[in-house]
Amino acid sequence: MTLEDLLRLLHVLGATVLFGTGAGIAFFLVMAERTRDPHIIAAVSGIVVIADTVFTATAVVLQPLTGYGLASIIGWPLGEGWIVLSLALYVFVGLFWLPVVWIQIRLRDLAKQAAVNKAPIPPAFDRLYRIWFAFGFPAFFAVIAIFWLMLTKPEIRLF
């Protein structure tokens, strides 16, 4: 296995982890929220926070490193249109992901508090949940666009 092969493998695995963990987190948190049971929501959102920390954060760091390594080895200029657009979309996704991490922590804490107090899910939870839910869509479609750019490498003239 060459260094290029290894970097490609790590880059694809990282992209898979980012997409798969994001989709999985979204599915499980949506399903938990639908129960309206603070105990279930607290447990699931606790796991979601751990998964985002362990898997997503690791992949977020490795993706640009493996991408840079690949571009260097293959000889793709970093100013190539599809690379610049991919990086811009990556930053765009990050701008949605960072607040989502904070929101997930708050959702977990609000659900835990409701469970401990034997109270219903508070209105603050619902407001944050709607923001969390809405932030998922642009990030999800931006990641799909990045996949498309990486696979097709279209000729894009930016300037």
What's the number of domains the chain is made of? 1
pTM of the entire structure?
0.92
Query: Token pair 């109270």 is at which residue?
Result: 119
Averaged pLDDT for residues 32-38: 98
pLDDT, position 159: 76
pLDDT, position 158: 83
**Ranges assigned E (strand) in the chain:** none
Q: Kindly tell me if the per-residue pLDDT of 86 is higher than 80.
A: yes
Is residue 157 a part of any domain in this protein? no
Is residue 142 a part of any domain in this protein? yes
Is residue 158 a part of any domain in this protein? no
Is residue 159 a part of any domain in this protein? no
Nearest in space to 25 (alpha carbons), one of 100, 113, 124: 100
Is residue 139 a part of any domain in this protein? yes
Is residue 81 a part of any domain in this protein? yes
Q: For residue 146, name the pLDDT band (cuts at 50, 70, 90).
A: very high
In Å, how far from its chain's centre is CA 73?
27
pLDDT, position 62: 95
| Residue 104 to residue 98: CA distance in whole angstroms | 10
42 is in which domain, residue-wise?
3-152
Q: Kindly tell me if the per-residue pLDDT of 22 is higher than 90.
A: yes
